[in-house]
Chains A and B, each alone.
Chain A
Amino acid sequence: AQRVTQPEKLLSVFKGAPVELKCNYSYSGSPELFWYVQYSRQRLQLLLRHISRESIKGFTADLNKGETSFHLKKPFAQEEDSAMYYCALSGHGGSNYKLTFGKGTLLTVNP
């Protein structure tokens, strides 16, 4: 079974402070990990894919297979980063294309 855990429902930081949104997963094989973001009144959209090792809007995430984690980090938070963030996992093999999502973390960046 695949499972994604985001331990923090709410996270509040001040503008310019570093931010880390935690994500831990459970999967027996080699998963693909994603971060999705939902800004207020907007649709859910892809932020990052672990496989691309990219930085989007200053955010990065590293897959740590030993700790089964995929934490999302940004060194200097901006007010426009305030949103709901979901970590998601996709399995490998066969027709396992579905994404399993965590419950999400609501990030608030205060001025």
Chain B
Amino acid sequence: DTGVSQDPRHKITKRGQNVTFRCDPISEHNRLYWYRQTLGQGPEFLTYFQNEAQLEKSRLLSDRFSAERPKGSFSTLEIQRTEQGDSAMYLCASSVPGERSYGYTFGSGTRLTVV
């Protein structure tokens, strides 16, 4: 599968623990996005990278959230001191350079459950 890969697929953690998710985009895509989706809602934008630069962050991304994309390849999203409200599906997507009109390719997501 040469699409967008996310790991793990599921994560159950206790409140207060830290979690880290990984996303491997399509190799020739230089833009990478993180979204969060809760039940009954569409995906909500969290942040995006162009190569290794994080160019925009949503207000949804509190200071407990941090995302990195070292070397402009894979990306990680870390949530510190998790709260029950962080339970959601975390989606990663990537897109070709300079062509917004092609839309995104999404990964399967990481489902986080905070207990």
Contacts and interface: CB of A to CB of B under 8 A. Distances in A.
B43 A44 contact: yes
Contacts of B102: 46, 49
B42 A46 contact: no
B25 interface: no
A103 B40 contact: yes
Contacts of A46: 102-105
Contacts of B55: 95
Most chain A CB within 10 A, of B3, B56, B103, B107, is at B103
Contacts of A103: 40-42
Interface in A55-111: 86, 88, 90, 95, 97-104
A104 B42 contact: yes
B22 interface: no
A26 interface: no
Interface residues of B, number: 25
B103 A44 contact: no
A94 B106 CA distance: 23
Interface string A37-50: 00000011110010
A95 B56 contact: yes
Given A86-B42, A95-B55, A104-B42, A34 B31 contact: no
Given A43-B108, A52-B101, A90-B100, A98 B43 contact: no
